[in-house]
């Protein structure tokens, strides 16, 4: 859970996106009438036009699901924390900290889910 204060949301999210593959960078081939593989240069040219402004380098949906599920489990762990803790003669009220952590995790979850929605709309 310490990643919440050791990493920035945007840096972590960009690193996550960079773990994916960009279909525009992959080799696209077709087989001609002679049975030879020929690289299709038109794919990249058309993809650059059609997918302008769309993030195509991204992990698959399973990776997004895994990350969002992990963040939801962190959010649940935070919600189950005790709000008051007695340490010897000192009483610590953790409610403000818990609320801030929940808010931070919710921002992380929103970043991943809103990317999926916004990018899907842009692809359509």
Report pLDDT digits (tens) over 45-66.
666 666 666 666 788 899 999 9
Question: Could you give the CA distance from residue 64 to residue 7 in angstroms, rounded to a whole number?
Answer: 18
| pLDDT value of position 41 | 67
| pLDDT value of position 119 | 82
The ranges of the chain with pLDDT < 50 are none
| pLDDT value of position 48 | 65
| pLDDT value of position 71 | 95
Residue whose C-alpha is closest to residue 25's, from 63, 55, 57, 53:
57
**Would you state the structure tokens that stand for residue 116, as one six-digit string?**
């999926």
Question: Could you give the CA distance from residue 62 to residue 9 in angstroms, rounded to a whole number?
Answer: 20
Residue whose C-alpha is closest to residue 79's, from 67, 90, 71:
71
| Location of structure tokens 């931070």 | 104
| pLDDT value of position 39 | 73
Q: How many CA atoms lie within 13 A of 33 on its CB side?
A: 0
**Would you state the structure tokens that stand for residue 103, as one six-digit string?**
């808010």
| pLDDT value of position 63 | 93
């Amino acid at each position: 859970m310490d990643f919440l204060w050791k990493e920035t949301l945007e840096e972590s999210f960009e690193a996550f996106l960079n773990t994916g593959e960009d279909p525009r960078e992959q080799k696209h081939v077709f087989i001609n009438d002679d049975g030879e593989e020929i690289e299709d240069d038109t794919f990249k040219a058309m993809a650059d036009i059609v997918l302008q402004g769309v993030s195509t380098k991204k992990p698959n949906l399973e990776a997004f699901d895994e990350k969002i599920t992990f963040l939801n489990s962190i959010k649940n762990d935070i919600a189950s924390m005790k709000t008051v803790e007695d340490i010897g003669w000192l009483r610590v009220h953790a409610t403000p900290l818990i609320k801030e952590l929940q808010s931070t995790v919710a921002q992380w979850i929103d970043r991943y889910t809103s990317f999926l929605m916004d990018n899907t709309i842009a692809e359509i």
